Structure 1
Amino acid sequence: MKKVFSIFLVLILMVSMLAGCTPKNTSSNDTPPAENTSPNENKPVEDTSSKDGNIVKIGLGHSTSIGKSKDLAVDKDGKDILPVGQVDTVIAAVGFDKDGKVVKVTIDTAQTKVNFDKDLKVTSDLTAENKTKVELKDDYGMVKASEIKKEWYQQIEELEKWMIGKTVDEIKSMKVKERDESHKSVPDVPELTSLVTVTVEGYIAAVEEAYKTAVEIGSGAEKLGLGHEISIGKSKGLEVKDGKETLPVAQVDTVMAATAFDKDGKVVGTIIDNAQTKVQFDNKGIITTDKNAEIKTKIELGDAYGMKKASTIGKEWFEQIAEFEKWMVGKSVDEIKALKVKERDESHKHVPDIPELTSTVTVTVEGYIAAVAEAYANAK
């Protein structure tokens, strides 16, 4: 009896051992992991097309309006309304990836005023620095009227963040609402309703223009900056000399640059343009410039700008600036600032004086270099 029981125990032990040697998870629905397979190898590939360092195109978008300029007038209480030439220029520097998605974006607005007295003399300081809304920061003064207690530059930063990773079509399809007569295109999407209460139509249009006019750049771009230089120095008041009348004009020159830089701070690509905007008045202080007309930059004017006929090298402004942009590629801002220049005449005191540019660029370049240097300082 004991012998039978012993044999029975041995059989049980053998069955248990065989069961322990059976591979687990071998049903027909299970596939064992392949040899040398990383745990993450079968996961979906992360889309990195909109991350830093993948900028393949850059664009410079802008729009200019003089619609808020004012005539000399008298209000219902008999108080003088003094004339002002106001030029509002929205600017956007945008970097796009190979799929047209926004990788980098900086938006700003230059709201520049030239004030006159009732005798139509300029009262604005023609040499003063003119700051954009981003540069003004808290001094712009929006926060006191903001229902969300955010300044303009803070709101535009949130809008820029929202744009990252989106195509222009996706950005344009943003749902908006009318807040009041002056704010007809305010974001109406959950991500922005508590962060952006400004009207965004003009900013989206600038980004769209940046996409439409974008140019391909070399590889290695990691940062993109927006730079600008604003001057009202060519504005003039009413003057009569030797029987000749010079009519008042508010002239605002807004140089802008969208520039991409590599990890070493060298220029990978840049776009430079200049909005030379004039608001003209008659001798009664009434604006004679069409306030609703499209205002074009020098690049947009192309041959119509009319420099070629006066150029010693027979090249238009857009052709010369394109040559200057090419020269900058591969150089650091310090190298660009070290460019040797010469004075051609009283109006052209910083003309390139190096063999590579003397036959292609005869415009004064001081403001363009300053705009690229600022783009570097602001690059992100």
Structure 2
Amino acid sequence: MKKSLSILIATVLSLSLFAGCGSKTEPKKEGEKAPVTDTKKDEAGIAKLGLGLITTIGKSKDLGVDKNGKEVLPVGQVDTVIVAAGFDKDGKIVKVTIDTAQTKVNYEKDLKIKSDVKAPIKTKVELKEDYKMKGSSKIGKEWYEQIAELEKWMIGKTVEEVKAMKVKKVDDSHTQVPDIAELTSTVTIDVGGYVAALEEAYKNAVEIKEGAVKVGLGNEVSMAKSKALGVDKNGKEVLPVAQVDTTVAATAFDKDGKVVATIIDVAQTKVNFSKEGKVTSDKTVADVASKKELKEKYNMKGSSKIGKEWFEQAAEFEKWMAGKSIEDIKALKTKKVDDNHTQVPDVAELTSTVTIDIGGYRNAVVESLANAK
């Protein structure tokens, strides 16, 4: 009896060991890591969303002559570097998109506007080959190609690691060119402004809910509010102003394309001229503040029917978009209030919190999905 029981137990143990040899859960040898069964844990999640803007007007020009005696016409030039980025819980870059809106408002000698202020304006990324940098590039690469290589290099790094990148001066216009083996053959543009905008994106980053898999950047640029030298309807002199409004949106999307979170901002930049065609705005300002950065200093509250500043209303609109699809956002009902406010929200959830025109903001968010990666 005991012998039969021993044989039975031995048989069962043998079968168990045999089954274990073929099992996918076979124990690892000492020192080896166990296999990861949860694929979600193996992916770097997007825990924060950031948007950074650096705006300068330093390349604007006065009416005058150059060193060769050639006439120089006035130009109001606004350069806005834009970075949309997703960061993991440790601050490492998971997603990043860099772009620049380099917008020029050209004037005639009599200070009438030469540029078509109603024409669509493209960023450097959108221009692609039409930016025409390849011909003068030592490596034969366009701006958008070089910036893509820089973005690729940034992935997996912290902002501090990016800032620690070794750079060199090539000429007066290129003082911060990458000087590291991984980038010397692919990036010869000055990266100072892009790193600064990335740092700002991280500094201003907001924590977001789980589920974000993509981050996109959208924009809408206009110089339609620029003014020529002239007089108003009351006969008062109007001085030239090159006004560039760069609307941007950084948006995080889930796997179904729904908005997890979005950040909207506007760089509303003015380059003022005297009646002699001289730039009177301070060209040395390192970063012209955006609407969101200005906060109360934007001074909209006094004229607001609901007593709210621009940044407060933008925050309410951002909150409303969370969890919605792009189609839901595009379907938002709006109304015309006046000639400057033609797309004001006309839904119960927003009528008491958002009275600004949301047309450009919505367009930027829609475009951010098309550009998401």
Q: Normalising by structure 2, report the TM-score.
A: 0.89
User: For residues 52 and 233 of structure 1, do their structure 2 counterparts lie closer, same or farther at Cα, with a shift above 3 Å needed?
Assistant: farther
Any conservation in 1 of the 2:55–2:78 contact (CA below 8 Å)? yes
**What is the distance in 2 between the residues matched to 1:221 and 1:243?**
55
Give the Å deviation of 1:177: 1.1
Task: State percent identity of aligned pairs.
Answer: 64
Any conservation in 1 of the 2:220–2:363 contact (CA below 8 Å)? yes
Give the Å deviation of 1:45: 7.7
> Corresponding residue for 1:315?
308
> Corresponding residue for 2:240?
248
> Corresponding residue for 2:13?
none
Question: What amino acid does structure 1 have at the position aligned with 2:112?
Answer: K
> Corresponding residue for 1:270?
262
1:134 to 2:148 alignment: no
**What is the distance in 1 between the residues matched to 2:104 and 2:31?**
59
Bigger mean CA offset, 191-200 vs 36-45: 36-45
1:207 to 2:198 alignment: yes
**What is the distance in 1 between the residues matched to 2:110 and 2:34?**
71
**What is the distance in 1 between the residues matched to 2:324 and 2:44?**
18
1:74 to 2:65 alignment: yes
**What is the distance in 1 between the residues matched to 2:134 and 2:121?**
21
**What is the distance in 2 between the residues matched to 1:124 and 1:52?**
48
Give the Å deviation of 1:40: 11
Question: What amino acid does structure 1 have at the position aligned with 2:32?
Answer: N
Instruction: Give the gaps of 5 or more residues in structure 1.
Output: 1-34
> Corresponding residue for 1:236?
227
2:80 to 65, 77, 89: 89
1:291 to 2:283 alignment: yes
> Corresponding residue for 1:168?
159
Any conservation in 1 of the 2:44–2:88 contact (CA below 8 Å)? no
**What is the distance in 2 between the residues matched to 1:299 and 1:161?**
29
1:117 to 108, 115, 118: 108
Instruction: Give the gaps of 5 or more residues in structure 2.
Output: 1-24
SS of the aligned residue for 1:92 comes to strand
User: For residues 188 and 45 of structure 1, do their structure 2 counterparts lie closer, same or farther at Cα, with a shift above 3 Å needed?
Assistant: farther
User: For residues 40 and 59 of structure 1, do their structure 2 counterparts lie closer, same or farther at Cα, with a shift above 3 Å needed?
Assistant: farther
> Corresponding residue for 1:196?
187
2:297 to 292, 296, 304: 304
> Corresponding residue for 2:342?
349
**What is the distance in 2 between the residues matched to 1:151 and 1:50?**
37
> Corresponding residue for 2:142?
151
2:272 to 252, 272, 280: 280
Give the Å deviation of 1:44: 7.5
User: For residues 321 and 348 of structure 1, do their structure 2 counterparts lie closer, same or farther at Cα, with a shift above 3 Å needed?
Assistant: same
Any conservation in 1 of the 2:267–2:290 contact (CA below 8 Å)? yes
User: For residues 51 and 89 of structure 1, do their structure 2 counterparts lie closer, same or farther at Cα, with a shift above 3 Å needed?
Assistant: farther
1:223 to 2:241 alignment: no
1:371 to 340, 364, 367: 364
Give the Å deviation of 1:38: 5.0
Question: What amino acid does structure 1 have at the position aligned with 2:137?
Answer: S
**What is the distance in 2 between the residues matched to 1:365 and 1:39?**
60
Question: What amino acid does structure 2 have at the position aligned with 1:43?
Answer: K
**What is the distance in 2 between the residues matched to 1:325 and 1:362?**
14
> Corresponding residue for 1:336?
329
How is 1:1-40 mapped onto 2 (pairs within 5 angstroms)? 36-37=26-27
Question: What amino acid does structure 2 have at the position aligned with 1:113?
Answer: K
Give the Å deviation of 1:53: 6.3
Give the Å deviation of 1:243: 3.9
Tell me how large the CA RMSD over aligned residues is: 2.2
**What is the distance in 2 between the residues matched to 1:107 and 1:36?**
46
SS of the aligned residue for 2:91 comes to coil
Q: Normalising by structure 1, report the TM-score.
A: 0.88
**What is the distance in 1 between the residues matched to 2:255 and 2:30?**
30
What's the CA shift string for 1:291-328, capped at 9, x where partnerless? 11241000100001001000000100000000000000
